[in-house]
Amino acid sequence: MPLSIQNLIGRLTFRQLQVFKAVYELKSYSKAGDMLGLTQPAVSSQIRQLEQALEQRLFEYVGRRLFYTAAGERLAESISHIFAELSDLQTDIAALKGQVAGELRLVAVNTAQYVVPYMLRAFLNLHPQVSVSVKVVNRATALQRLNDNTDDLVIMAMVPADKPLTSLPFLDNELVPVVPAGHPLLQQASISPQDFLSSQLLMREPGSGNRLALEMHCQQQRLHIKSSMELGSNDAIKHAVMAGLGVAVLPKLSILPELQLGKLIIPPITGFPLRRSWCVVHPQAKHLTPSMQAFLDYIQQNIKQFEHIFINQGN
């Protein structure tokens, strides 16, 4: 091994590479520090030591914006390979011990964020060597990430039938009509679907899975649907309903505390609740890592248990 390589190895640390990777991806020293639990001066120190070891500038400021240099871009490519090899090594060593290890990158649509923590708790007890990350996005972003093969597995409802995807249904996503306590509709002997939909309906943005499910239902039943206000999350809609701004159709699991406290009411309306399945989804051609296969096996083996957990929560 050339002496220069020996010197380089002696001066580099994995922490420096980790800090560089964070700065490179976030394009910010302060954001990288926040993510890694370091102060900005500590991040700057790590990058400076790395630049001294490589004898190259890795980042530069143009105005107030941070850019990587050609050397920085080349280093980022190498770090990507190094960290991938380390991940594979971790997986292989765990396999020799009869364990599952490695990364598991999950994406969950907004409505599934109420389910995922309960799914992960027992899985991580079974496979403590698996490092799980979860990104919560809207449905349009989830579909784009599926198309780009960005993640390992995606948790969503309303899986497109026109794409080469493999999906594993595991739990009903029950969408219920909700009104605030004291709403005039509750004084009626019966509430028609159209009366409900015409009572200042609050909806998610176009492309949302909840909105798509409601629009498909209304199209099938020949109901007129008109949104009085669009909001960007289920929580925002929930609070808007409680504030008296209108009515909505929401995932039941997202409003359990409000139902129990009587702040929201589910009126009996023909055709509701709407039932769709949450699914674990991946491209058909995707290579399944041991951690992905272990998660899919775990879901498959515990479908009845998930139903029991969430039925109890809903009662």
100 lies in some domain = no
Domain at 308, CATH number: 3.40.190.10
Looking at the 3D structure of the chain, how many domains does it have?
3
Same domain, 194 and 259: yes
pLDDT in tens, 177-209: 999 999 999 999 899 999 999 999 999 888 788
pLDDT over 50 (residue 122): yes
Q: Which amino acid is present at 148?
A: D
Global confidence as pTM: 0.64
Q: Are residues 185 and 141 in the same domain?
A: no
Distance of CA 298 to CAs 71, 134, 155, Å?
43, 17, 14
Range of the domain at 216: 172-276
- What span, in angstroms and rounded, lies between the C-alpha atoms of 87 and 45? 26
Least confident of 178-182, 261-265, 286-290: 286-290
Q: Assess if residue 103 is contained within a domain.
A: no
53 within some domain: yes
Does 269 lie in the same domain as 185?
yes
Residues 142 and 222 in one domain: no
Percent of the chain predicted with pLDDT > 90: 50
**Do residues 282 and 147 both lie within one domain?**
yes
Q: How confident is the model at residue 313 (pLDDT cuts 50, 70, 90)?
A: low
Mean pLDDT of the chain: 88
Going through 187-239 in order, the beta strands assigned E by DSSP cover 201-204, 227-231
Q: Which residues partner with 59 through β-bridges?
A: 68
The set of residues, in sequence order, having a beta carbon less than 8 Å from that of 30 and lying 6+ positions away, is 40, 43
pLDDT at 282: 95
> Based on the number of CB atoms within 10 Å of its own CB, is 150 exposed (0-12), middle (13-18) or buried (19 or more)?
middle
